[in-house]
Structure 1
């Protein structure tokens, strides 16, 4: 049986810390999935809809900023999916869009429908690409950058690994940051250790920062799922992480027995 991997890809990874979606990064992700698809099945949770829209439009508004972000997400989501579809299709991969919110995950019938749909997609070698439904929900627009959504999804889909792609080599020790010589915390079981070390700053396009990633890892750990926080800006980051060829933070799962 294939191992099930959920990869959360933040806005900073998809844009490679620029102001536009990086087709090269999406191709890099697709190429790795294509290379590993005989051993693993992949689910993607992707931010980036707002960043995709900002490449093309600048909205005028009289309302609240969050409403503008929702409108940008509505414009950018189909554009983002189109970029994924184009790049993945050239690699022989089929993609699908799955949009839902926390409210859906609190409804047992809705959650079962989501699970059944994704299981059918995976059984037919289609890559599910998940995002929050930003038209009706704003949680991940305001904070989290889909970290919590990824963890909750990983839990109810019973994945084998939650891989969070960010713009650092995992979580660094506080002392190493103070010395301006970042040193990655390689492996922990205690979430408290990470909470004491985590930098609370947020990056250019992301809304989560390391705090939301630790919260996500806590959800996953409590569901018996291991979490890796890796540098998604690097080419080949998925395969290199599996091979142990790069530095990242591994948060071990709690035993469910």
Structure 2
């Protein structure tokens, strides 16, 4: 069983600082955003969170918010109460609530000069490689433009068969998708305990967990809030996803005003330590895929790839195999030497059509616009 924090673990915890985060994903649960008694938005809390986000952005940290709350807000507007909802009712509540949720974030962050964007995803968007890459490309572009994306599960169309089921796991998946180095789950508990602290006064909180063992998983409980769908079990599942992707993940009590500042200042939390660097984990994942084809590059492109450049159509000498957008392909040098593997942004037929052409000519060749790089440098394992 994992032990409670040792002195060595304490030093690692101190090293996990939000101030040092390069890219941060923050999950906000429904119970934090919506007052259960009234169904109204907890506006003061959201405005305080906006201060935290603005501070992080001022330090140069990319911030992605994964926010629940659309169903909770919508059911209040529609007068649906807090009993279990039928699927159609939940979808209707999400449709009504999502507009209000997006507007609330926009109004909270706009005074700081921050632009927000709404991204709605389903489980299929992460399981289908092409849709996953499209989601990733959109998020990367938004972050490059300084935007704060607000991500939520698309509850208006998701069914039980194609849903994450809670935003804990969605936050972890988004963290891996964008290569975040830190992910914070703002919750109604201040970490993982050896037992339920509400019923066991002898329960102890873990400050740091280096590895998620079966014993750790066995300590997880179920959801405790009428508005929230995620319990400790899903948070531990989220931690497994995040840490495997090279992202440190924290569970902390989010009810305090300015909860991220509170975490920076030493508020109780459980940190799950990353198993690898985010980029290294992603490249290992790409390299382990089964190749669907071969793209041979010219000598100039081979040299460019060695210096960390993306593969442009102009540098492609030959294309073999049958593959779709998002599929893994082998990258080969002119003499046949394997350079590595990458995820292509074009089908095999499209790649053959545009190979040797300048990126500005892609639209005229294909008849529709496309991405400048055939394989982006972040989607390669060389």
Structure 1-normalised TM-score?
A: 0.89
Partners of 1:140 and 1:47 lie apart in 2 by 19
Matched residue, 2:217: 195
Matched residue, 2:109: 88
- SS of 2:119's partner is strand
Matched residue, 2:98: 77
1:30 to 2:50 alignment: yes
1:164 to 2:185 alignment: yes
Q: 1:217 touches 1:251 (CA, 8 Å); kept in 2?
A: yes
Report the CA distance shift for 1:142/1:155 in structure 2 as closer, same or farther (over 3 A): closer
- SS of 1:103's partner is helix
- SS of 2:78's partner is coil
Count of residue pairs the alignment pairs up: 253
Deviates more, 1:16-25 or 1:157-166: 16-25
Of 222, 226, 234, 2:256 maps to 234
Of 136, 142, 155, 1:115 maps to 136
Partners of 1:141 and 1:237 lie apart in 2 by 32
Matched residue, 1:216: 238
Of 25, 33, 46, 1:14 maps to 33
Partners of 2:249 and 2:218 lie apart in 1 by 18
- SS of 2:260's partner is helix
Report the CA distance shift for 1:53/1:186 in structure 2 as closer, same or farther (over 3 A): same
Partners of 1:121 and 1:201 lie apart in 2 by 33
1:5 to 2:24 alignment: yes
Report the CA distance shift for 1:83/1:232 in structure 2 as closer, same or farther (over 3 A): same
Post-superposition shift, 1:152?
Answer: 1.2
- SS of 2:148's partner is strand
- SS of 1:55's partner is helix
Bigger CA radius of gyration: 2
What is the CA deviation profile of residues 16-39 of structure 1, one whole-angstrom value per residue up to 9, with x for unaligned ones?
Answer: 554322111211111111112123
Post-superposition shift, 1:59?
Answer: 5.5
5+ long unaligned stretches in structure 1:
none
5+ long unaligned stretches in structure 2:
1-19, 281-382
Post-superposition shift, 1:198?
Answer: 2.2
Post-superposition shift, 1:181?
Answer: 6.0
Q: Relative CO higher for 1 or 2, CA cutoff 8 Å, sep ≥ 6?
A: 1
| RMSD, aligned CA | 2.4
Partners of 2:102 and 2:161 lie apart in 1 by 18
Partners of 2:174 and 2:51 lie apart in 1 by 24
Partners of 1:201 and 1:9 lie apart in 2 by 15
1:152 to 2:173 alignment: yes
Deviates more, 1:199-208 or 1:226-235: 199-208
Structure 2-normalised TM-score?
A: 0.61
Report the CA distance shift for 1:172/1:86 in structure 2 as closer, same or farther (over 3 A): same
Partners of 2:118 and 2:225 lie apart in 1 by 26
